[in-house]
Amino acid sequence: MKVIIKNFGPIKNYEVDLGKKFIVNYGPNNIGKSCAMNVVYLMIKKLFHIVSVYPTLMLSVEEFNNHPVFKDMKEDFNATFGRRNLSNRYSGKRMEIVLSMDSPHFYASFGEKEGELCLIEAEYDFHSSEEEKYSAAISFLSKCFGKHLHPHFIPASRLGLYQGFIKALGPTLAEISKIRGLLQNPYMSIPHLTAPVSDYISLLSRQNPVVADSSYRQKIVKIAEDIEKELLDGSIRFDEQQQSFYYKPHNFTGEIGVEYASSMVGQLAPFVHIIRNSLKLSEGSLFYEEPEAHLHPEKQTILAEKLVCLLELGFNAMITTHSNYMFNKFNNLILNGRLPPVDYLPVLMELTPEGSVSRVMEMDELGVLDENFISATEKLYDEREDIIEKLNGERK
């Protein structure tokens, strides 16, 4: 399944193939990497949710746009991107989101009408009896979206969103945010949470230990334990009653609130919790913004390897990153055969006068050609050489 985003906010054109297990968005700040990932996440999550409630593939375009569950999808877009803020911010052109697949044939084009998301056109090879339409619709979308049908979102501001007042009110606000479109009182307002952030807070607030066979359970728990051992040098505990994370350093008698630990611990604690309590056997995908945040370069390379461990267990992942250390670690994992090039989609976003455009970075069996970080490295080197040359000239 391909997702194409055109003229959406800072984006002129972004294209991604959901058939790839590991999608990484590279590029400078403020270019639309997170925007693109939010769009993909919401489209996948909501389309599956709609079909899980009603087999809406049987509906016409007009019926689909007027369906209550699709209205919920529009509210998620409004909450995440703002009302009447969907067009290209550079050119003013109207946005379009296209989902397409050859086999089974699926094509859906979403656009903007009166500042809100709407379905424009849909084509699909989908046939079933009235009695089987629900199971057939689920099966059809599973073929189209694969494991991405069960997405989990981890935003860039991880612990900061959860600590403080959020840990007490967050779960309630997150659930209310999901139905903000149903609130009729014009004088009633709630703190703004984007749809992915609402999902993230709700996910953290639930204790759902993975139910699976013992061999898989051991593998998934081992990844969480390895992160605790190799990166955190301690263990993470989530207290559901107090809605708080606690950190127990190794060789330490007590535990402390994560907010009193290092920023690295605070950033990784939610990830460990989600691995241990939410990810299920060979199901779902992880949408992870800037996983390297607050990590030393050595720790970044370890985390990169742990992400590939999840891929090896059958998960899919889409991340954004500014880390050349993770980039190079992924290249090493390609070299040693753990990250097959056929599963990896490195996407570089670049700025044009009409917004950012994406392209797949050049890759072979040795890894991905560095077209993103090398310019900064070269500038630093040239600057250093110029300074040394100047200092040598002054000494003569």
Q: Residues 312, 282: contact at Cβ < 8 Å?
A: no
- Residue 256 tokens, joined: 């402390």
Q: Are residues 127 and 246 in the same domain?
A: no
The Cα–Cα gap between 198 and 220 comes to 25
Dihedral-angle region of residue 5 (phi above 0 means left; psi in -120 to 50 means alpha; beta otherwise)? beta
Range of the domain at 250: 157-182+190-279
Helix, strand, coil in percent for the chain, rounding step 5: 45, 25, 30
Q: What is the pLDDT averaged over residues 45-58?
A: 61
Q: Are residues 12 and 68 in the same domain?
A: yes
Q: What is the pLDDT of residue 165?
A: 44
Lowest mean pLDDT among 64-68, 143-147, 183-187: 183-187
Could you tell me which residues are beta bridge partners of residue 119? 110
Interstrand relation of 285-289 and 316-320 (parallel, antiparallel or unpaired): parallel
The Cα–Cα gap between 264 and 282 comes to 28
Convert the pLDDT of each residue in 266-292 to its tens digit.
999 999 998 888 776 556 789 999 999
Q: Are residues 259 and 312 in the same domain?
A: no
Q: Are residues 381 and 290 in the same domain?
A: yes
pLDDT higher than 70, residue 113: yes
Q: Are residues 200 and 230 in the same domain?
A: yes
Q: What is the pLDDT of residue 56?
A: 47
DSSP state of 48: H
Q: What is the pLDDT of residue 132?
A: 62
Convert the pLDDT of each residue in 150-196 to its tens digit.
789 999 876 665 554 455 555 555 555 555 555 555 544 555 678 89
Q: What is the pLDDT of residue 90?
A: 94
Q: Which comes out higher in pLDDT, residue 314 or 38?
A: 38
Q: Residues 52, 330: contact at Cβ < 8 Å?
A: no
Q: Are residues 103 and 13 in the same domain?
A: yes
The Cα–Cα gap between 85 and 39 comes to 13
DSSP state of 178: T
The Cα–Cα gap between 351 and 356 comes to 4
Q: How many domains does the chain have?
A: 2
Interstrand relation of 316-320 and 22-26 (parallel, antiparallel or unpaired): parallel
Q: What is the pLDDT of residue 156?
A: 87
Q: Are residues 391 and 247 in the same domain?
A: no
Phi, psi (deg, nearest 5) at residue 63: -65, -40
Q: Are residues 8 and 137 in the same domain?
A: yes
Q: Residues 100, 82: contact at Cβ < 8 Å?
A: no
The per-residue pLDDT of the chain, averaged, comes to 84
Q: How confident is the model at residue 88 (pLDDT cuts 50, 70, 90)?
A: very high
The Cα–Cα gap between 322 and 156 comes to 12
Convert the pLDDT of each residue in 320-355 to its tens digit.
999 999 999 999 999 999 999 999 999 999 999 999
Amino acid at 127: H
